[in-house]
A and B are shown apart, each in its own frame.
Chain A
Amino acid sequence: GQQVMQIPQYQHVQEGEDFTTYCNSSTTLSNIQWYKQRPGGHPVFLIQLVKSGEVKKQKRLTFQFGEAKKNSSLHITATQTTDVGTYFCAGLSNSGYALNFGKGTSLLVTP
């Protein structure tokens, strides 16, 4: 069945360094969504990518969707302590209805 895999599982950076998390799917995705979960919190939607090769930016965050629509990345420039949390990518599950989440990348930022 369709699986969404994320790497790395953990990343520890110094404040100001860049950070990237990668998401790969075993099948072509109709779209991909990214979520952020702060420690002790719930996942919060960040963005959705739909088109092949799409690139979207939100301030210091850059999201990319691969040409084959099977992979995606999230890049954070000059991390801040407020970026701490777990970042998840998600695609539609095999049923085509609910979301199938990757295991997430936990980001720790040290001042």
Chain B
Amino acid sequence: NAGVTQTPKFQVLKTGQSMTLQCAQDMNHEYMSWYRQDPGMGLRLIHYSVGAGITDQGEVPNGYNVSRSTTEDFPLRLLSAAPSQTSVYFCASSLGRGYRAFFGQGTRLTVV
């Protein structure tokens, strides 16, 4: 059982470039979320999804897009990367509302 898989693990982007962070889970979880982690800021919610075709914004959604076409996949798109988006990004999934979250290994993104 792979759990939650994130790719890539590391990425360096130039300002203005776009890219997609991939997240896949094989636990048939309905809920998936994206968080960013910055020093001293904890985990901040970017976007989340409660099922295929349903997404919503979290605390810090600006500059990011998501879609959920399948239960398994929840990609995060950076439209035009900025240095302020340098961070560690975690994808998480859970069975449903209030259930424990399973996290991926994270993607460390640097925007120069």
Please give the residue numbers on chain A whose beta carbons come within 8 Å of chain B beta carbons, in ascending order.
6, 9, 30-31, 33, 35, 41-45, 48, 88, 90, 92-93, 95-104
Chain B binding surface, main DSSP class: strand
26 contacts between A and B (CB under 8 A): A9-B40, A33-B100, A33-B101, A42-B90, A42-B104, A42-B106, A43-B43, A43-B90, A43-B103, A93-B59, A95-B56, A97-B48, A97-B56, A98-B31, A98-B33, A99-B33, A99-B45, A99-B92, A99-B94, A99-B101, A101-B42, A101-B44, A101-B45, A103-B41, A103-B42, A104-B42
- Chain A residues with CB under 8 A of B43: 43, 88, 90, 101, 104
- Chain B residues with CB under 8 A of A90: 43, 101
Interface residues on B, range: 20 to 34
Cα A90 to Cα B98 in complex, Å, equals: 10
Cα A58 to Cα B56 in complex, Å, equals: 35
Please give the residue numbers on chain B whose beta carbons come within 8 Å of chain A beta carbons, in ascending order.
31, 33, 35, 40-45, 48, 50, 56, 58-59, 90, 92, 94, 97-98, 100-106
Cα A41 to Cα B88 in complex, Å, equals: 11
Q: A92-B97, A95-B48, A98-B31 are in contact. Are A44 and B56 (CB under 8 A)?
A: no
Cα A42 to Cα B91 in complex, Å, equals: 10
- Chain A residues with CB under 8 A of B102: 45
Decide if A42 touches B58 in the complex (CB within 8 Å).
no
